[in-house]
Structure 1
């Protein structure tokens, strides 16, 4: 398998810096470049790599892989420039839209297109910038690799190996298939989250005081950078618009059914049908490591709001030899304690309850 040895990362935001950190932990030599000198200094300070200098551009020090992690509007131009600057390197990117970028690169650098292979790690955060970067950001996550008909086989191999070095699971697909997929699993959820969060702007303080974890789950990603998301949505406008029309039609039918109220038995069945369809959809989502989802049991523990309590809880569970499959924390504002939901395999419930009781934890089931 082709393995990158010298990598040049252009763009040291959240994604570029996270890739650099992931590669550094695997012993890959990484050089960094960014038009924002502050971001570059922070990434270097985090240990993500060495700033690019003129020496890197010498033939014997040229990279074998260039990773472009700049905003969507600049991707095509920067990728084309990298293909020209490093004639011996494969170039990939971290952009969340692929078809438009491929078309732009094809127009700008058709003679070097065989060395370009698109990529998109399906990981991220509502936070941005190098300080939000993590070396483990891609562990166990899907990484879409989108070769085109002119891509060299060895170029595809090195990009797929990049994903594996970062701890990700490779999913190969075309640019068009990718854009249809991310419209469904990423872009429409972002719009939906933002729309729901926008309703909060006119809510009273009394209404917001009742907000629980469900609302926070739905609106968390609405905190993403509006400028970045405007570029992403514009670049994938067609697939996103089609799904939004479908979602809007479903919401309209639910609203009409609710307006009919209790006077219509049909209205109740219609609302329930949409709710049940949502349950079916959630159950189709992949489980851990992309495998078929398993059914876990949730055990709720009362967590005092004091420093070190969460670490103590995890330590007590770990000492009992129990693996936590998932965790959720629900903490109401002003309350002296929170609720931690520990998802475990059904066979682990009894020993977990015994361990929690032995260590004095208050458990609610």
Structure 2
């Protein structure tokens, strides 16, 4: 791939353009908002200049509702050898392209499974897709040359290709992406009317659960409008679980010991089902996060403290598999949680103590 055209210079489009430009591809940028490609170009993502002729690959990074019309318009003017979209929904755009009479041989639907709660070109990074799954939904009609171009795109962005059928993809993202966004927003909305005293008690748990509630509502309206059925199906199942959980909690208030026992059993069942589901979520190297042991170290909010603790862990010969920071409310301090292989934890604890760190048990 020598040349590419990126249509839509928000977070995803600009991140793709940064990755391609950084690997020697000449990238042309365009967007309905003229300020966005100007900003993306200033970041080094490519050029605002129009290409002289057909590029190798056109990357359509627009909301799902506009994918089909954008791809069709590009095809009519012969803008590229191949066309790929990076929208978060796959079945609808393909149906719309077919209805428009578009050339489905030169088109491939895809979805990089990466993002941030911030949007726009200023939030973009060239490494956004590193090691992340990138779903491809080819059909028997897809031209081999186009598939190879998109595989090259995925490789240049250092992502991992995953081939799925479009309907299966839409059901999957409803579960792992779209529904979590709504649940995060629903819980965060409770904070909007909560007492100030309650909000001040917010800890890492509520921060983790509500992080993505900071996402752009306009973007999510576009996404959810393109995949409402599968999301509604999952929410219906969750609603049934919530009803059962509410009944179990009410039973715990009962004066009847048998009812309290039933309530406790109901809550335990929900929690254990959650444990089982959480263990299936892949972590680093495909291992479950539960396989790591956490070493918790109190840390002050001073320049260089994080670098020092990571360096001391390195001197101990221990690889940090993952890390989390829990901030103390109203204080210039926090708790660094270092996730390591269980066999490495005792040595790390001893080494950090020798270097003056205290360990939270």
TM-score range, shorter chain: over 0.9
**Structure 2 residues not aligned, in runs of 5+:** none
Deviation at 1:351, TM superposition (A): 3.0
Structure-2 separation of matches of 1:88 and 1:131: 27
Task: Determine if the alignment matches structure 1 residue 180 to structure 2 residue 171.
Answer: yes
Which one is further off, 171-180 or 144-153?
A: 144-153
Q: Secondary structure at the match of 2:139?
A: coil
Q: Secondary structure at the match of 2:88?
A: coil
Distance 1:291 1:144, change over 3 A: farther
Distance 1:332 1:57, change over 3 A: same
Aligned to 2:31: 34
Q: How many residues align?
A: 356
Task: Determine if the alignment matches structure 1 residue 82 to structure 2 residue 69.
Answer: no
Structure-1 separation of matches of 2:351 and 2:22: 35
Aligned to 1:237: 228
Aligned to 1:212: 203
**Deviating runs (4+, > 3 A) in structure 1?**
289-294
Q: Structure 2 length as normaliser, TM-score?
A: 0.94
Aligned to 2:91: 99
CA deviations on 1:295-319 (whole Å, 9 max, x unpaired) are 1110001110112212222222234
CA deviations on 1:65-120 (whole Å, 9 max, x unpaired) are 1101112222221111122223652100110001011111222243x211000010
Deviation at 1:28, TM superposition (A): 2.1
Aligned to 2:249: 258
Question: For the Cα contact (< 8 Å) 2:245–2:266, is it kept in 1?
Answer: yes
Distance 1:21 1:291, change over 3 A: farther
Aligned to 1:68: 60
Question: For the Cα contact (< 8 Å) 2:5–2:28, is it kept in 1?
Answer: yes
Distance 1:115 1:349, change over 3 A: same
Structure-2 separation of matches of 1:293 and 1:299: 14
Question: For the Cα contact (< 8 Å) 1:83–1:89, is it kept in 2?
Answer: no
Aligned to 1:323: 319
Which one is further off, 32-41 or 204-213?
A: 32-41
Aligned to 1:199: 190
Distance 1:214 1:345, change over 3 A: same
Distance 1:292 1:205, change over 3 A: closer
Q: Secondary structure at the match of 2:76?
A: helix
Deviation at 1:156, TM superposition (A): 1.6
Task: Determine if the alignment matches structure 1 residue 57 to structure 2 residue 52.
Answer: yes
Q: Secondary structure at the match of 2:96?
A: helix
Distance 1:348 1:228, change over 3 A: same
Q: Secondary structure at the match of 1:27?
A: coil
**Out of 347, 355, 360, which is 2:343 matched to?**
347
Task: Determine if the alignment matches structure 1 residue 125 to structure 2 residue 116.
Answer: yes
Distance 1:278 1:36, change over 3 A: same
Question: For the Cα contact (< 8 Å) 1:301–1:362, is it kept in 2?
Answer: yes
Aligned to 1:305: 301
Aligned to 1:153: 144
Q: Secondary structure at the match of 1:167?
A: coil
CA deviations on 1:160-219 (whole Å, 9 max, x unpaired) are 221122111111011111001000110111111111111111101000011100001001
Q: Secondary structure at the match of 1:64?
A: strand
Distance 1:8 1:289, change over 3 A: farther
Question: For the Cα contact (< 8 Å) 1:320–1:352, is it kept in 2?
Answer: yes
Q: Secondary structure at the match of 1:333?
A: coil
- Measured on the aligned residues, the alpha-carbon RMSD in Å equals 1.6
